[in-house]
A and B are shown apart, each in its own frame.
Chain A
């Protein structure tokens, strides 16, 4: 094939990319313009609302999204799940979301303090458990064993809500020093902790009780934390302060807090705040 033909193809490709980009721009403009006139009843057939959700919420929010979308007053919901601290950073760097469901108040405060999000609502709570591989290579019998030197402990990082709660629990157990020894591998969300334990690479980890509902749960052994170290994780949901979809976004939050929403959360192991 000669150069001209190649060049022609390249130009066609660039044009196609350009056209596609323009279309997206138009759609965005439409999406941004409609809500001013729109009410809950016209939510259907519109662009979905975007919900940034803590990693531990992914399964329950996926189901919540499909149930909410199926309602007559519902809207399509797109869930983007990651560690809450990653989501907060992405929002601070300009990512757009209509709702932010954070696993702790601190990560929500990061985006609230700069005015990106409005005051949130607590909608669920969770608690922590210690997990080990089924064969328990580190011989962890009680949570105190986590302090044993040489044990391969995996936690979510200190900025990850799950990691912050886990460190608080260790502190209440009087073994916070165990995680300061620089021997803890840090994961960027709680799912990574469960995976490392399920793979058998780590001797122990601390995850949410609700994480045990996942497929990996059968491959780990669970050790409960004593009441004194039972840290309660509280989930907050807040709406973007400048979303054009405030009605739909508030609708989703209201649904989560409704009887139906609460029973779904309870099915997944979450408690009410």
Chain B
């Protein structure tokens, strides 16, 4: 029989670990506490009434949601393929689609310019079709989707891989179509990972800054999402930046609460 955690094993850590753990926790918590402590609550109502700020909030929610929808629409089939497909270089493809997750966001922005900018690889073709992406909300959505979609894809892939093949085989033996098996067996079984992936993807998209300001620019009401608004506010009114920071902290906290109990495996 294996010992489970909590069966008396916790005393094994050296006591100095407690000190290091305390320092580590303080380092992670202190800046957030300082942010909240510095928030100009007395000015909060006046600052939040600002129309530009409200447009940034609405835009942020819209961009993050748009990016998540894109990530789910194309990412689920991709995750399925990575999980079930048997093709050469699957590992390489998995690594490639994970890259934006670890790439510096500003590099992601430069890469998006190189691909979809006016002088980018596809820029000419897009422009000929009457579509110029930079400085548009569509560009902000693409930037957010580029950096956040891997969170959904990897989480979904992990969930799909964990579904017991026997269940799908049983459904198939009963004559269910591929679509029906996916709808009634596979996706419900992977539900938790899919939800966690969506929430993580949305959260990452909401916080996106570097790729957005590089590829989509900083246009008030069009591409100035909350992180860009924080950046802009810091140059003029640090109080406003702190307040926006607390707002985003609250949203992040809400994401964590939403993820509670979900299996987070990005």
**Category for how many chain A residues contact B:** 20 to 34
Within 8 A of B (CB), among A146-179: 152, 154, 157, 159-160
Q: Which residues of A contact B191 (CB under 8 A)?
A: none
Question: B223–A185 contact, CB under 8 A?
Answer: yes
Please report whether the interface of chain B is mostly helix, strand, loop or mixed according to DSSP: loop
Q: Is B150 in contact with chain A by the CB < 8 A criterion?
A: no
Within 8 A of B (CB), among A19-33: none
Q: Which residues of A contact B16 (CB under 8 A)?
A: 7
Q: Is A187 in contact with chain B by the CB < 8 A criterion?
A: yes
Q: Is B217 in contact with chain A by the CB < 8 A criterion?
A: yes
Q: Is B134 in contact with chain A by the CB < 8 A criterion?
A: yes
Within 8 A of A (CB), among B192-229: 217-223
Contact of B235 among A89, A152, A199, A200 (CB under 8 A): A89
Question: A157–B235 contact, CB under 8 A?
Answer: yes
Contact of B234 among A89, A186, A200 (CB under 8 A): A89
Q: Is B161 in contact with chain A by the CB < 8 A criterion?
A: no
CB-CB nearest in chain A for B215: A201
Contact of A185 among B14, B219, B235, B238 (CB under 8 A): B219
Question: B232–A185 contact, CB under 8 A?
Answer: no
Q: Is A46 in contact with chain B by the CB < 8 A criterion?
A: no
Chain A CB within 10 Å, residue with most, of B132, B219, B223: B219
A191 to B132, CA, bound (A): 23
Chain A CB within 10 Å, residue with most, of B113, B118, B132, B223: B118
CB proximity of B39 to chain A, nearest CB, Å: 15
Q: Which residues of A contact B221 (CB under 8 A)?
A: 182
Q: Which residues of A contact B118 (CB under 8 A)?
A: 137, 200-201
Please report whether the interface of chain A is mostly helix, strand, loop or mixed according to DSSP: loop
Q: Is A239 in contact with chain B by the CB < 8 A criterion?
A: no
A116 to B42, CA, bound (A): 26
Q: Which residues of B contact A253 (CB under 8 A)?
A: none
CB proximity of A222 to chain B, nearest CB, Å: 20
Within 8 A of A (CB), among B225-255: 231-232, 234-236, 238
Question: A154–B217 contact, CB under 8 A?
Answer: yes
Q: Is A245 in contact with chain B by the CB < 8 A criterion?
A: no
Question: A185–B135 contact, CB under 8 A?
Answer: yes
Q: Is B66 in contact with chain A by the CB < 8 A criterion?
A: no
- Closest 5 A-B residue pairs measured CB to CB? A185-B217, A182-B221, A159-B236, A201-B134, A200-B119
18 A-B pairs with CB atoms under 8 Å apart are A3-B14, A83-B235, A85-B235, A89-B238, A93-B238, A152-B134, A154-B217, A157-B232, A159-B236, A184-B219, A185-B218, A200-B119, A201-B113, A201-B119, A201-B134, A201-B135, A201-B217, A202-B134
